[in-house]
Chains A and B, each alone.
Chain A
Amino acid sequence: MQIIEGAVIACAGLGSRLGMGMPKCMIEVDGKTLLSRLIETLQPLIPRIHVVVGYREELIIEHCSQHHRDVVIVRNPEFRTTNTAHSLRLGSVGMLRKVLYMDGDLIIEPASLENFVDTAVKIPLLIGVTRAKSSQAVFVSTREGDDALPESVGAFQRDLATPWEWANVFAGSPDLLVEGTRYVYECIDPCLPAAARALNLHEVDTPEDLEQAKIWMRSRHA
């Protein structure tokens, strides 16, 4: 057992593909921001939550000062020239061993995240995967084959489509986030094969993703 010291949520990016002029985590679905949904899902599971901000940071700082006063806001003033891996590394301040990392543009079904955390405390590295559905998916090949629920990731791949994609969520050591790496999944790549669990989630990158996410939310409430 190795407890998860904290969660780091990356919210610094421009979200340019969505083009709403605000950080993606500030988009509201059913009257609540993506960030509030993530924080409320994480709070019962994780002792500390860090939110990394950059693009239009004042919106997120104000939102947290109103609704989430117990999160630590970590600034990445170089968000225009750095990537998510850099933001996550900055966000790991005061965390040494095991951290839950995720993008701020996700809507995650709470029960699936709870299962993910339960498994993550038992092993050094756990990778989140989800049913392939996003427009620019990083696919994963799983050892269990395409039809079974994945329990491990063998490789990340852009070109060869599989039914599962990288979920932009993992639990592991902050040391994995090395300087100069472009994408977060590339930081994990040297550790493959590694354990994986399926997460029921939607990523919001484009207006189409947002529509899909809203439909998904409605279907869950129906």
Chain B
Amino acid sequence: MSCTAFCFDLDGTLTTTEILPCIAAELGVAGEIATLTRLTMGGLIPFEDSMRLRTLILGQVPLARVHEVIASVPMAGELFDFVRCNVDRCFVVTGNLDLWIAPLVEQLGCQVFSSRAILMDGMVRLESILVKDEAVHQLRASGRFDRIVAVGDGANDVAMLHAADLGIAYGGVHAPAGATIQAANLVIHDAGTLCKLLKAL
């Protein structure tokens, strides 16, 4: 029997808004971080550089407050339900930090591949930044799945979409980056349409 794994980007795919600008609002720099996030998703700034910079800035917000903010970030309802119903074969693949997104991960209930950080003397210290195709390679090497589907919207999803058997550029929240479309097999603009297709695979 065939078994398909589904890899989802988090920010702007499973969530209906980018998460980091929400955290930045705590420091009064939501607009600035949103701009940085947009440039990063568009591929104009390397993801690793941008993530280091954003971690440095947003690390000033107390972790408990970050968790409160993140717990209230809206999720794409139909996609959230799809993940909840298929937790054994759905995976969140995100450049965001494990330390920050823990409350969302708990809600979703599936395995997560993410960037890693630790709290040291009250400071967020970045340990590693996820290269997203690594998640696909690990899932393939596990031997559990004979097909891997990946869904994402940003420039940092390109490697993941390339590595997957079926790459989907998702434009439900905002238009997918040009490079993301070029790396994809499919382009889908609506959560309900995406779910209908995923269920048929």
Bound-complex Cα distance A58 to B186 (A):
13
Closest B residue to A66 using CB positions: B189
| Contact (Cβ within 8 A) A61 B181 | yes
Q: Interface size for chain B: under 10, 10 to 19, 20 to 34, or 35 or more residues?
A: 10 to 19
> Is A143 part of the binding interface, using a Cβ–Cβ cutoff of 8 Å?
no
Which residues of A lie under 8 Å from residue B188 when comparing CB positions? Answer: 72-73
| Contact (Cβ within 8 A) B187 A61 | yes
| Contact (Cβ within 8 A) A75 B185 | yes
Residues of B within 8 A of A (CB): 166, 171, 175, 181, 184-190, 192-193, 196-197, 200-201
A-B contact pairs, 8 of them (CB 8 A): A48-B193, A64-B187, A65-B189, A70-B193, A72-B188, A74-B186, A93-B201, A95-B200
| Contact (Cβ within 8 A) A75 B187 | yes
Tell me the number of A-to-B contacts counted with CB atoms below 8 Å: 46
Which residues of B lie under 8 Å from residue A75 when comparing CB positions? Answer: 181, 184-187
| Contact (Cβ within 8 A) A93 B166 | yes
Interface 0/1 of A43-87, CB less than 8 Å to B: 000011000000000000100110001111111000000000000
Bound-complex Cα distance A93 to B200 (A):
9
Q: How far is the CB of B152 from chain A (nearest CB, A)?
A: 15
Bound-complex Cα distance A94 to B186 (A):
12
Bound-complex Cα distance A95 to B199 (A):
11
Bound-complex Cα distance A48 to B193 (A):
8
Q: How far is the CB of B163 from chain A (nearest CB, A)?
A: 17
Bound-complex Cα distance A71 to B187 (A):
9
Which residues of B lie under 8 Å from residue A90 when comparing CB positions? Answer: 185
> Is A5 part of the binding interface, using a Cβ–Cβ cutoff of 8 Å?
yes
Which residues of A lie under 8 Å from residue B190 when comparing CB positions? Answer: 69-70
| Contact (Cβ within 8 A) B185 A74 | yes
Task: Given A61-B181, A65-B171, A65-B175, verify A93-B186 contact (CB < 8 Å).
Answer: yes
Contact pick for B189, options A5, A64, A94, CB 8 Å: A64
Which residues of B lie under 8 Å from residue A73 when comparing CB positions? Answer: 186-188
Contact pick for B196, options A48, A64, A93, CB 8 Å: A48
| Contact (Cβ within 8 A) B197 A72 | yes
Q: How far is the CB of A58 from chain B (nearest CB, A)?
A: 8
Contact pick for B192, options A64, A70, A74, CB 8 Å: A70
| Contact (Cβ within 8 A) B185 A69 | no
Q: How far is the CB of A36 from chain B (nearest CB, A)?
A: 15
Bound-complex Cα distance A93 to B198 (A):
10
Which residues of A lie under 8 Å from residue B185 when comparing CB positions? Answer: 74-75, 90, 93
